[in-house]
Protein backbone atom coordinates (compact mmCIF):
# COMPACT_ATOMS: atom_id res chain seq x y z
CA UNK A 1 0.00 0.00 0.00
CA UNK A 2 1.70 3.18 -1.13
CA UNK A 3 -0.97 5.68 -0.16
CA UNK A 4 -1.54 7.03 3.31
CA UNK A 5 -4.42 5.77 5.37
CA UNK A 6 -7.58 7.79 5.52
CA UNK A 7 -7.48 10.42 8.21
CA UNK A 8 -10.68 12.01 9.37
CA UNK A 9 -8.82 15.00 10.76
CA UNK A 10 -8.18 16.30 7.28
CA UNK A 11 -10.32 19.22 6.20
CA UNK A 12 -12.84 18.89 3.39
CA UNK A 13 -13.37 15.21 3.98
CA UNK A 14 -16.11 15.37 6.56
CA UNK A 15 -18.79 12.74 6.36
CA UNK A 16 -21.36 14.97 4.68
CA UNK A 17 -18.78 16.21 2.18
CA UNK A 18 -20.33 19.66 2.25
CA UNK A 19 -17.40 21.50 3.80
CA UNK A 20 -16.95 24.70 1.81
CA UNK A 21 -13.66 25.93 0.40
CA UNK A 22 -12.41 29.29 1.64
CA UNK A 23 -12.00 32.07 -0.92
CA UNK A 24 -8.22 31.47 -1.09
CA UNK A 25 -8.72 27.73 -1.46
CA UNK A 26 -11.22 28.28 -4.24
CA UNK A 27 -8.74 30.45 -6.14
CA UNK A 28 -6.06 27.78 -5.76
CA UNK A 29 -8.53 25.06 -6.74
CA UNK A 30 -9.25 26.84 -10.02
CA UNK A 31 -5.55 27.06 -10.85
CA UNK A 32 -5.05 23.38 -9.98
CA UNK A 33 -7.97 22.49 -12.26
CA UNK A 34 -6.29 24.50 -15.05
CA UNK A 35 -3.01 22.69 -14.54
CA UNK A 36 -1.24 25.90 -13.50
CA UNK A 37 -0.59 24.69 -9.97
CA UNK A 38 0.39 21.22 -8.70
CA UNK A 39 -2.44 19.03 -7.44
CA UNK A 40 -2.26 17.12 -4.17
CA UNK A 41 -2.47 13.88 -6.11
CA UNK A 42 -3.06 12.76 -9.68
CA UNK A 43 -4.71 9.51 -10.72
CA UNK A 44 -2.83 8.36 -13.82
CA UNK A 45 -2.98 5.49 -16.28
CA UNK A 46 -6.73 5.08 -15.90
CA UNK A 47 -9.83 4.85 -18.04
CA UNK A 48 -12.36 7.28 -16.63
CA UNK A 49 -15.99 6.15 -16.56
CA UNK A 50 -18.02 9.27 -17.30
CA UNK A 51 -21.62 8.80 -16.13
CA UNK A 52 -22.74 12.11 -17.65
CA UNK A 53 -21.79 11.25 -21.23
CA UNK A 54 -21.80 7.44 -20.93
CA UNK A 55 -18.23 7.28 -22.14
CA UNK A 56 -14.98 5.68 -21.09
CA UNK A 57 -11.71 7.42 -22.01
CA UNK A 58 -8.11 7.68 -20.91
CA UNK A 59 -7.45 10.71 -18.74
CA UNK A 60 -5.57 11.95 -15.71
CA UNK A 61 -7.61 13.15 -12.74
CA UNK A 62 -6.22 15.86 -10.46
CA UNK A 63 -7.26 15.91 -6.79
CA UNK A 64 -7.14 18.77 -4.27
CA UNK A 65 -9.02 19.51 -1.05
CA UNK A 66 -10.63 16.07 -1.14
CA UNK A 67 -12.26 16.85 -4.47
CA UNK A 68 -11.70 16.27 -8.14
CA UNK A 69 -10.13 19.47 -9.46
CA UNK A 70 -9.85 18.59 -13.12
CA UNK A 71 -9.73 15.89 -15.77
CA UNK A 72 -7.24 16.18 -18.59
CA UNK A 73 -5.34 14.25 -21.21
CA UNK A 74 -2.68 11.89 -19.84
CA UNK A 75 0.34 13.93 -18.74
CA UNK A 76 -1.64 17.15 -18.23
CA UNK A 77 -1.29 17.45 -14.49
CA UNK A 78 1.53 17.54 -11.99
CA UNK A 79 0.88 16.43 -8.44
CA UNK A 80 2.64 15.97 -5.13
CA UNK A 81 1.56 12.35 -5.29
CA UNK A 82 0.96 10.16 -8.31
CA UNK A 83 -1.45 7.22 -8.19
CA UNK A 84 -0.93 4.67 -10.97
CA UNK A 85 -4.24 2.95 -11.70
CA UNK A 86 -2.58 0.24 -13.77
CA UNK A 87 -4.74 0.89 -16.82
CA UNK A 88 -7.90 0.04 -14.89
CA UNK A 89 -11.19 1.91 -14.84
CA UNK A 90 -11.73 4.92 -12.56
CA UNK A 91 -15.35 4.84 -11.43
CA UNK A 92 -17.33 7.22 -9.19
CA UNK A 93 -17.84 5.93 -5.64
CA UNK A 94 -21.15 4.11 -5.21
CA UNK A 95 -24.09 5.57 -3.27
CA UNK A 96 -26.43 3.32 -1.31
CA UNK A 97 -29.81 5.07 -1.29
CA UNK A 98 -31.60 2.93 1.27
CA UNK A 99 -30.41 0.46 3.83
CA UNK A 100 -30.49 -0.20 7.58
CA UNK A 101 -27.28 -0.48 9.59
CA UNK A 102 -29.17 -2.37 12.29
CA UNK A 103 -30.00 -5.27 9.94
CA UNK A 104 -26.31 -6.05 9.59
CA UNK A 105 -26.19 -6.47 13.39
CA UNK A 106 -23.16 -4.18 13.44
CA UNK A 107 -22.41 -0.79 14.94
CA UNK A 108 -21.91 1.96 12.32
CA UNK A 109 -18.10 1.88 12.37
CA UNK A 110 -17.99 -1.88 11.76
CA UNK A 111 -20.78 -1.61 9.19
CA UNK A 112 -18.80 0.83 7.04
CA UNK A 113 -15.70 -1.39 7.39
CA UNK A 114 -17.79 -4.16 5.84
CA UNK A 115 -19.05 -1.89 3.03
CA UNK A 116 -15.81 -0.10 2.15
CA UNK A 117 -14.11 -2.88 0.13
CA UNK A 118 -17.22 -3.13 -2.07
CA UNK A 119 -16.99 0.45 -3.34
CA UNK A 120 -19.85 2.09 -1.43
CA UNK A 121 -18.58 5.54 -0.46
CA UNK A 122 -21.85 7.20 0.60
CA UNK A 123 -24.47 5.16 2.41
CA UNK A 124 -27.91 6.38 3.46
CA UNK A 125 -29.31 4.37 6.36
CA UNK A 126 -32.81 4.69 7.76
CA UNK A 127 -32.41 4.30 11.54
CA UNK A 128 -36.05 3.44 12.19
CA UNK A 129 -35.14 0.24 14.01
CA UNK A 130 -33.03 1.90 16.69
CA UNK A 131 -35.62 4.72 16.77
CA UNK A 132 -38.37 2.18 17.44
CA UNK A 133 -36.45 1.00 20.49
CA UNK A 134 -34.77 4.14 21.80
CA UNK A 135 -36.53 7.12 20.21
CA UNK A 136 -34.72 10.43 19.75
CA UNK A 137 -31.85 9.51 22.12
CA UNK A 138 -31.26 6.44 19.93
CA UNK A 139 -31.18 8.66 16.84
CA UNK A 140 -28.75 11.01 18.58
CA UNK A 141 -26.52 8.05 19.36
CA UNK A 142 -26.69 6.85 15.75
CA UNK A 143 -25.79 10.31 14.45
CA UNK A 144 -22.86 10.52 16.88
CA UNK A 145 -21.68 7.05 15.82
CA UNK A 146 -21.93 8.03 12.14
CA UNK A 147 -19.71 11.10 12.44
CA UNK A 148 -15.96 10.82 11.91
CA UNK A 149 -16.14 7.64 9.84
CA UNK A 150 -13.87 7.18 6.81
CA UNK A 151 -16.93 6.37 4.68
CA UNK A 152 -19.81 8.83 4.35
CA UNK A 153 -22.61 7.28 6.37
CA UNK A 154 -25.74 9.43 6.39
CA UNK A 155 -29.14 8.88 7.99
CA UNK A 156 -32.79 9.65 7.38
CA UNK A 157 -35.48 11.02 9.66
CA UNK A 158 -37.48 7.87 10.43
CA UNK A 159 -41.02 8.72 9.39
CA UNK A 160 -42.94 5.77 10.84
CA UNK A 161 -42.03 5.07 14.46
CA UNK A 162 -43.83 2.85 15.16
CA UNK A 163 -44.36 1.45 11.65
CA UNK A 164 -48.09 1.05 12.23
CA UNK A 165 -50.57 1.52 15.09
CA UNK A 166 -50.62 -2.28 15.58
CA UNK A 167 -46.99 -2.47 16.63
CA UNK A 168 -45.49 -2.44 20.13
CA UNK A 169 -42.67 0.07 20.16
CA UNK A 170 -40.31 1.72 22.60
CA UNK A 171 -41.01 5.16 21.16
CA UNK A 172 -43.48 7.12 19.11
CA UNK A 173 -42.00 9.97 17.09
CA UNK A 174 -43.76 13.03 15.74
CA UNK A 175 -42.63 15.93 13.56
CA UNK A 176 -41.83 18.01 16.62
CA UNK A 177 -39.51 15.26 17.89
CA UNK A 178 -37.75 15.02 14.52
CA UNK A 179 -37.63 18.71 13.55
CA UNK A 180 -34.53 19.49 15.68
CA UNK A 181 -32.62 16.80 13.74
CA UNK A 182 -33.73 17.86 10.25
CA UNK A 183 -30.88 20.31 9.71
CA UNK A 184 -28.14 17.92 10.85
CA UNK A 185 -25.59 17.66 8.01
CA UNK A 186 -25.83 13.87 8.05
CA UNK A 187 -29.60 13.79 7.47
CA UNK A 188 -30.33 12.96 3.82
CA UNK A 189 -34.08 12.44 3.61
CA UNK A 190 -37.34 11.72 5.35
CA UNK A 191 -37.09 7.95 5.81
CA UNK A 192 -39.29 5.32 4.21
CA UNK A 193 -42.98 6.11 4.62
CA UNK A 194 -44.17 2.61 5.41
CA UNK A 195 -47.56 3.51 6.80
CA UNK A 196 -49.12 4.16 3.41
CA UNK A 197 -52.65 3.45 4.68
CA UNK A 198 -52.08 6.28 7.16
CA UNK A 199 -50.92 8.59 4.37
CA UNK A 200 -54.00 7.76 2.28
CA UNK A 201 -56.29 8.44 5.23
CA UNK A 202 -54.63 11.81 5.77
CA UNK A 203 -53.10 11.01 9.18
CA UNK A 204 -51.93 14.48 10.18
CA UNK A 205 -49.09 13.24 12.41
CA UNK A 206 -47.62 11.44 9.42
CA UNK A 207 -48.20 14.31 7.00
CA UNK A 208 -46.45 16.65 9.43
CA UNK A 209 -43.37 14.37 9.34
CA UNK A 210 -43.41 14.36 5.53
CA UNK A 211 -43.66 18.16 5.62
CA UNK A 212 -40.23 18.28 7.31
CA UNK A 213 -38.88 17.64 3.79
CA UNK A 214 -39.99 21.08 2.60
CA UNK A 215 -37.21 23.64 2.15
CA UNK A 216 -37.13 25.86 5.22
CA UNK A 217 -34.67 27.99 7.08
CA UNK A 218 -33.23 24.98 8.87
CA UNK A 219 -32.97 22.78 5.76
CA UNK A 220 -32.54 25.18 2.87
CA UNK A 221 -32.07 22.44 0.27
CA UNK A 222 -35.09 20.46 1.47
CA UNK A 223 -35.07 16.69 1.90
CA UNK A 224 -36.12 13.80 -0.30
CA UNK A 225 -39.01 11.63 0.92
CA UNK A 226 -38.39 7.88 0.70
CA UNK A 227 -41.29 5.54 0.05
CA UNK A 228 -42.18 1.98 0.91
CA UNK A 229 -45.42 0.82 -0.69
CA UNK A 230 -45.48 -2.78 -1.92
CA UNK A 231 -48.33 -3.51 -4.35
CA UNK A 232 -49.72 0.04 -4.16
CA UNK A 233 -51.12 0.96 -7.57
CA UNK A 234 -53.82 2.98 -9.29
CA UNK A 235 -55.46 5.98 -7.66
CA UNK A 236 -54.17 5.08 -4.20
CA UNK A 237 -50.65 5.27 -5.61
CA UNK A 238 -51.55 8.72 -6.97
CA UNK A 239 -52.62 9.67 -3.46
CA UNK A 240 -49.35 8.43 -2.00
CA UNK A 241 -47.30 10.43 -4.53
CA UNK A 242 -49.57 13.45 -3.99
CA UNK A 243 -48.58 13.34 -0.31
CA UNK A 244 -45.00 14.06 -1.37
CA UNK A 245 -43.39 10.62 -1.44
CA UNK A 246 -40.71 10.52 -4.13
CA UNK A 247 -39.22 7.01 -4.34
CA UNK A 248 -40.06 3.37 -3.75
CA UNK A 249 -38.01 0.20 -3.42
CA UNK A 250 -40.81 -2.29 -2.79
CA UNK A 251 -42.27 -3.01 -6.24
CA UNK A 252 -43.35 -6.63 -6.44
CA UNK A 253 -44.31 -6.70 -10.13
CA UNK A 254 -43.14 -5.03 -13.34
CA UNK A 255 -46.58 -3.47 -13.88
CA UNK A 256 -46.47 -1.85 -10.45
CA UNK A 257 -42.92 -0.59 -11.07
CA UNK A 258 -43.95 0.97 -14.37
CA UNK A 259 -46.86 2.79 -12.70
CA UNK A 260 -44.48 4.20 -10.12
CA UNK A 261 -42.07 5.39 -12.83
CA UNK A 262 -44.93 6.97 -14.76
CA UNK A 263 -46.01 8.93 -11.70
CA UNK A 264 -42.54 10.40 -11.32
CA UNK A 265 -41.25 8.21 -8.51
CA UNK A 266 -37.64 7.13 -8.39
CA UNK A 267 -37.60 3.38 -8.73
CA UNK A 268 -35.08 1.54 -6.59
CA UNK A 269 -34.36 -2.11 -7.31
CA UNK A 270 -33.98 -3.88 -3.96
CA UNK A 271 -31.41 -6.63 -3.93
CA UNK A 272 -30.52 -7.27 -0.32
CA UNK A 273 -31.83 -10.31 1.46
CA UNK A 274 -35.11 -9.79 -0.38
CA UNK A 275 -34.90 -9.14 -4.10
CA UNK A 276 -36.83 -7.76 -7.08
CA UNK A 277 -34.25 -7.29 -9.85
CA UNK A 278 -35.63 -10.16 -11.93
CA UNK A 279 -39.11 -8.62 -11.91
CA UNK A 280 -37.98 -5.02 -12.51
CA UNK A 281 -35.09 -5.37 -14.97
CA UNK A 282 -37.36 -5.64 -18.06
CA UNK A 283 -38.91 -2.26 -17.14
CA UNK A 284 -35.45 -0.72 -16.75
CA UNK A 285 -34.22 -2.12 -20.06
CA UNK A 286 -37.34 -1.06 -21.92
CA UNK A 287 -37.92 2.38 -20.41
CA UNK A 288 -34.30 3.48 -19.74
CA UNK A 289 -32.80 3.61 -16.28
CA UNK A 290 -32.90 7.41 -15.90
CA UNK A 291 -35.00 7.36 -12.73
CA UNK A 292 -33.82 3.98 -11.43
CA UNK A 293 -31.22 2.84 -8.94
CA UNK A 294 -30.15 -0.01 -6.68
CA UNK A 295 -30.56 -0.43 -2.92
CA UNK A 296 -29.78 -3.24 -0.48
CA UNK A 297 -32.40 -2.31 2.16
CA UNK A 298 -32.51 -5.19 4.66
CA UNK A 299 -29.55 -7.50 4.40
CA UNK A 300 -28.35 -10.14 6.82
CA UNK A 301 -24.69 -10.08 7.82
CA UNK A 302 -24.30 -13.46 6.09
CA UNK A 303 -25.50 -12.07 2.76
CA UNK A 304 -23.25 -9.03 3.16
CA UNK A 305 -20.25 -11.29 3.77
CA UNK A 306 -21.04 -13.78 1.03
CA UNK A 307 -22.27 -11.49 -1.72
CA UNK A 308 -21.11 -7.93 -1.07
CA UNK A 309 -22.96 -4.66 -1.43
CA UNK A 310 -23.91 -2.55 -4.46
CA UNK A 311 -21.02 -4.16 -6.35
CA UNK A 312 -22.86 -7.49 -6.15
CA UNK A 313 -26.04 -5.88 -7.51
CA UNK A 314 -24.09 -4.32 -10.41
CA UNK A 315 -22.54 -7.72 -11.23
CA UNK A 316 -25.93 -9.39 -11.18
CA UNK A 317 -27.66 -6.71 -13.30
CA UNK A 318 -24.85 -6.67 -15.86
CA UNK A 319 -24.96 -10.46 -15.97
CA UNK A 320 -28.64 -10.19 -16.86
CA UNK A 321 -28.08 -7.76 -19.72
CA UNK A 322 -27.80 -4.23 -18.28
CA UNK A 323 -25.05 -2.11 -19.81
CA UNK A 324 -22.21 -1.73 -17.24
CA UNK A 325 -22.07 2.06 -17.46
CA UNK A 326 -25.84 2.27 -16.97
CA UNK A 327 -25.51 -0.02 -13.95
CA UNK A 328 -22.79 2.22 -12.49
CA UNK A 329 -24.97 5.32 -13.10
CA UNK A 330 -27.82 3.63 -11.24
CA UNK A 331 -25.53 3.18 -8.24
CA UNK A 332 -23.88 6.60 -8.34
CA UNK A 333 -25.33 9.53 -10.28
CA UNK A 334 -29.00 8.60 -9.92
CA UNK A 335 -29.10 8.37 -6.11
CA UNK A 336 -27.03 11.58 -5.95
CA UNK A 337 -29.63 13.35 -8.10
CA UNK A 338 -32.45 11.96 -6.02
CA UNK A 339 -31.01 13.27 -2.75
CA UNK A 340 -30.00 16.57 -4.31
CA UNK A 341 -26.28 15.90 -3.79
CA UNK A 342 -24.55 18.05 -6.38
CA UNK A 343 -21.06 17.06 -5.24
CA UNK A 344 -20.92 13.29 -5.75
CA UNK A 345 -22.03 10.46 -7.98
CA UNK A 346 -19.73 11.33 -10.88
CA UNK A 347 -16.15 12.27 -11.71
CA UNK A 348 -16.09 15.98 -12.58
CA UNK A 349 -14.47 19.19 -11.30
CA UNK A 350 -15.70 20.05 -7.80
CA UNK A 351 -17.04 16.57 -7.13
CA UNK A 352 -15.81 14.72 -4.06
CA UNK A 353 -12.81 12.53 -4.80
CA UNK A 354 -14.78 9.38 -3.94
CA UNK A 355 -13.30 7.06 -6.54
CA UNK A 356 -12.94 3.37 -7.31
CA UNK A 357 -10.23 1.63 -9.28
CA UNK A 358 -11.97 -1.30 -10.99
CA UNK A 359 -10.19 -3.79 -13.29
CA UNK A 360 -13.31 -5.19 -14.98
CA UNK A 361 -16.67 -3.42 -15.41
CA UNK A 362 -18.53 -6.69 -16.02
CA UNK A 363 -17.11 -8.55 -13.05
CA UNK A 364 -17.35 -5.39 -10.94
CA UNK A 365 -14.94 -5.77 -8.00
CA UNK A 366 -13.18 -2.59 -6.84
CA UNK A 367 -9.46 -3.04 -6.33
CA UNK A 368 -9.05 0.28 -4.54
CA UNK A 369 -11.60 2.55 -2.89
CA UNK A 370 -10.92 6.24 -2.20
CA UNK A 371 -13.01 8.66 -0.16
CA UNK A 372 -12.03 12.32 -0.40
CA UNK A 373 -8.89 11.21 -2.23
CA UNK A 374 -7.81 8.94 0.66
CA UNK A 375 -7.42 5.21 0.14
CA UNK A 376 -9.84 3.45 2.52
CA UNK A 377 -9.95 -0.10 1.12
CA UNK A 378 -7.79 -2.25 -1.14
CA UNK A 379 -8.07 -5.80 -2.48
CA UNK A 380 -11.17 -6.60 -0.45
CA UNK A 381 -9.88 -5.22 2.85
CA UNK A 382 -10.83 -2.05 4.70
CA UNK A 383 -7.70 -0.09 5.66
CA UNK A 384 -9.12 1.43 8.82
CA UNK A 385 -10.39 0.32 12.16
CA UNK A 386 -13.79 1.28 13.51
CA UNK A 387 -13.54 4.26 15.84
CA UNK A 388 -14.59 4.01 19.47
CA UNK A 389 -18.31 4.21 20.04
CA UNK A 390 -19.67 7.58 21.13
CA UNK A 391 -19.95 8.10 24.85
CA UNK A 392 -23.01 10.35 24.48
CA UNK A 393 -26.48 8.82 24.57
CA UNK A 394 -25.16 5.32 25.34
CA UNK A 395 -27.73 4.78 28.11
CA UNK A 396 -30.44 4.99 25.48
CA UNK A 397 -29.05 2.11 23.46
CA UNK A 398 -27.83 -0.27 26.16
CA UNK A 399 -29.86 -2.90 28.04
CA UNK A 400 -32.97 -2.25 25.97
CA UNK A 401 -34.33 -5.82 25.94
CA UNK A 402 -36.65 -6.02 28.92
CA UNK A 403 -38.63 -9.25 29.02
CA UNK A 404 -41.43 -9.90 31.49
CA UNK A 405 -43.01 -13.21 32.43
CA UNK A 406 -41.01 -15.00 29.79
CA UNK A 407 -40.30 -18.73 29.86
CA UNK A 408 -40.38 -21.65 27.45
CA UNK A 409 -44.04 -22.12 28.39
CA UNK A 410 -44.82 -18.91 26.53
CA UNK A 411 -43.57 -20.48 23.28
CA UNK A 412 -46.14 -23.27 23.35
CA UNK A 413 -48.92 -23.29 20.75
CA UNK A 414 -51.93 -25.24 22.01
CA UNK A 415 -53.88 -27.10 19.34
CA UNK A 416 -54.68 -30.40 17.66
CA UNK A 417 -53.39 -32.02 14.48
CA UNK A 418 -55.24 -30.80 11.40
CA UNK A 419 -55.38 -27.82 9.08
CA UNK A 420 -53.89 -24.58 10.38
CA UNK A 421 -53.37 -21.04 9.09
CA UNK A 422 -49.70 -20.23 8.51
CA UNK A 423 -47.66 -17.26 7.30
CA UNK A 424 -46.46 -18.25 3.83
CA UNK A 425 -43.09 -16.81 2.85
CA UNK A 426 -42.42 -16.05 -0.82
CA UNK A 427 -38.76 -16.59 -1.61
CA UNK A 428 -36.81 -13.29 -1.90
CA UNK A 429 -39.98 -11.20 -1.40
CA UNK A 430 -41.11 -8.99 1.45
CA UNK A 431 -44.81 -9.81 1.00
CA UNK A 432 -46.28 -13.01 2.51
CA UNK A 433 -49.27 -15.26 1.81
CA UNK A 434 -52.07 -16.61 3.97
CA UNK A 435 -51.69 -20.40 3.64
CA UNK A 436 -53.42 -23.48 5.07
CA UNK A 437 -51.28 -26.53 5.83
CA UNK A 438 -51.65 -29.76 7.77
CA UNK A 439 -49.90 -29.58 11.12
CA UNK A 440 -49.06 -32.14 13.81
CA UNK A 441 -49.62 -31.85 17.52
CA UNK A 442 -48.00 -33.59 20.45
CA UNK A 443 -49.57 -33.62 23.92
CA UNK A 444 -52.00 -30.92 22.85
CA UNK A 445 -49.26 -28.65 21.45
CA UNK A 446 -48.71 -27.90 17.76
CA UNK A 447 -45.09 -28.66 16.91
CA UNK A 448 -42.61 -27.54 14.28
CA UNK A 449 -42.10 -29.88 11.32
CA UNK A 450 -38.84 -28.84 9.61
CA UNK A 451 -39.04 -31.72 7.13
CA UNK A 452 -42.23 -30.18 5.73
CA UNK A 453 -40.88 -26.64 6.21
CA UNK A 454 -43.39 -25.73 8.92
CA UNK A 455 -41.78 -23.79 11.76
CA UNK A 456 -43.01 -22.03 14.82
CA UNK A 457 -42.35 -18.32 15.01
CA UNK A 458 -42.62 -16.15 18.09
CA UNK A 459 -42.70 -12.40 18.55
CA UNK A 460 -41.57 -11.53 22.05
CA UNK A 461 -42.36 -8.00 23.17
CA UNK A 462 -39.15 -6.48 24.52
CA UNK A 463 -40.41 -3.36 26.28
CA UNK A 464 -41.49 -4.93 29.54
CA UNK A 465 -45.11 -5.47 28.54
CA UNK A 466 -44.82 -9.27 28.60
CA UNK A 467 -46.72 -9.99 25.38
CA UNK A 468 -45.72 -13.03 23.30
CA UNK A 469 -47.27 -14.00 19.97
CA UNK A 470 -46.72 -17.52 18.62
CA UNK A 471 -47.63 -18.62 15.10
CA UNK A 472 -46.56 -20.83 12.22
CA UNK A 473 -44.35 -20.08 9.27
CA UNK A 474 -44.07 -21.93 5.96
CA UNK A 475 -41.35 -21.41 3.35
CA UNK A 476 -38.24 -20.39 5.30
CA UNK A 477 -36.52 -23.72 4.60
CA UNK A 478 -34.53 -23.43 7.79
CA UNK A 479 -33.41 -26.89 8.85
CA UNK A 480 -31.44 -25.97 11.92
CA UNK A 481 -30.57 -22.89 13.90
CA UNK A 482 -27.78 -21.64 16.05
CA UNK A 483 -24.90 -20.95 13.65
CA UNK A 484 -25.59 -17.24 13.77
CA UNK A 485 -26.03 -16.95 10.00
CA UNK A 486 -29.54 -17.92 9.05
CA UNK A 487 -29.47 -19.47 5.59
CA UNK A 488 -32.19 -20.79 3.43
CA UNK A 489 -31.57 -24.04 1.59
CA UNK A 490 -32.16 -22.41 -1.81
CA UNK A 491 -29.42 -19.81 -1.33
CA UNK A 492 -25.92 -20.75 -2.54
Nearer to Zn ion, 273 or 326 (CB): 273
Per CB under 5 A, which region of 67-75, 281-289, 295-303, 306-314 contacts Zn ion? 295-303
The binding track of 181-220 with respect to Zn ion, each residue x by CB under 5 A or -, is ----------------------------------------
Number of residues that bind Zn ion (CB under 5 A): 1
Question: Residue 126 Cβ, how far from Zn ion at the closest point, in Å?
Answer: 6
Beta carbon nearer to Zn ion, 248 or 297: 297
Query: Which region, judged by CB under 5 A, interacts with Zn ion, from 3-11, 87-95, 294-302, 350-358?
Result: 294-302
Q: Which neighbouring-strand residues pair with 382?
A: 377
The nearer residue to Zn ion, 193 or 446, going by C-beta atoms, is 193
| CB nearer Zn ion, residue 49 or residue 193 | 193
Subset of 409-468 contacting Zn ion (CB under 5 A): none
Calpha distance 284→293 (Å, rounded): 10
Separation CA 460–CA 410 (nearest Å): 9
What's the closest the beta carbon of residue 178 comes to Zn ion, in angstroms? Answer: 17
**How big is the chain by its Cα radius of gyration, in Å?**
24
**Which one of the spans 87-95, 135-143, 290-298, 412-420 is the region binding Zn ion (CB under 5 A)?**
290-298
* Least Å from the CB of residue 100 to Zn ion: 6
What separation in angstroms does the CA of 104 have from each of 110, 272, 471, 490?
A: 10, 11, 25, 21
Cα dihedral 99→105→108→114 (10° resolution): -80
* C-beta closer to Zn ion: residue 66 or 198: 198
Residue closer to Zn ion, measured from CB, 102 or 354? 102
Q: Supply angle C-alpha 374, 375, 379, rounded to 5.
A: 170
- Non-local CB neighbours of 202 within 8 Å, separated by 6+ positions: none
Residues 6+ apart with CB under 8 A from 225: 159, 189, 190, 193, 210, 213, 244, 245, 246, 247
In DSSP terms, 59 is beta-bridged to 46
Question: What one-character DSSP code corresponds to residue 77?
Answer: -
Tell me the residue nearest to Zn ion as measured from the CB: 297
Which of these segments, 44-52, 169-177, 289-297, 429-437, binds Zn ion (CB under 5 A)? 289-297
State the first-to-last Cα distance of the chain, in angstroms, to the nearest integer: 33
Q: Which stretch binds Zn ion (CB under 5 A): 257-265, 296-304, 376-384, 449-457?
A: 296-304
**H or E element at residue 102:** none
Least Å from the CB of residue 485 to Zn ion: 21
Least CB distance to Zn ion at residue 199 (A): 16
- Sole binder of Zn ion in the list 250, 279, 297, 311 (CB under 5 A): 297
For Zn ion, the closer of residues 256 and 297 by Cβ is 297
Name the residue nearer to Zn ion (CB basis): 15 or 191: 191
Is position 103 an interface residue for Zn ion (rule: CB under 5 A)? no
Q: How far is the CB of 194 from Zn ion (least distance, A)?
A: 8
d(CA 92, CA 330): 11
By beta-carbon proximity to Zn ion, the closer residue of 32 and 95 is 95
216: region left, alpha or beta (phi > 0 left; psi from -120 to 50 alpha): beta
Q: If DSSP codes are grouped into helix, strand and coil, which group holds residue 249?
A: coil
Answer for the pair 93, 61: CB distance below 8 angstroms, yes or no: no
Footprint on residues 300-329 left by Zn ion (CB under 5 A)? none
Residues that bind Zn ion (CB under 5 A): 297
Amino acid sequence: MSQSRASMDEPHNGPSGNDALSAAERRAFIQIARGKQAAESVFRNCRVVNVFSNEVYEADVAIAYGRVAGIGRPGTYTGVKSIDCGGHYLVPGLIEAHTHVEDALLVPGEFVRALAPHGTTTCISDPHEIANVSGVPGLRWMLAASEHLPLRLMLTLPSCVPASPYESAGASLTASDLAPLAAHPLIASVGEVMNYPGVLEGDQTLLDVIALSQPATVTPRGLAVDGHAPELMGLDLCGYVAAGVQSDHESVSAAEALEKLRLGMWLWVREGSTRNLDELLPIILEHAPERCGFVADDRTPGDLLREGDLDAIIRKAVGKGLDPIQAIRMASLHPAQYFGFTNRGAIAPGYLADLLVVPDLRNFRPRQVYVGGQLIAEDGQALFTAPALPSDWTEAVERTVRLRDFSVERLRLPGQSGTARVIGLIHDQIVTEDRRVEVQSHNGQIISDPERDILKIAVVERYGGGRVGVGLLHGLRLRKGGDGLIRCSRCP
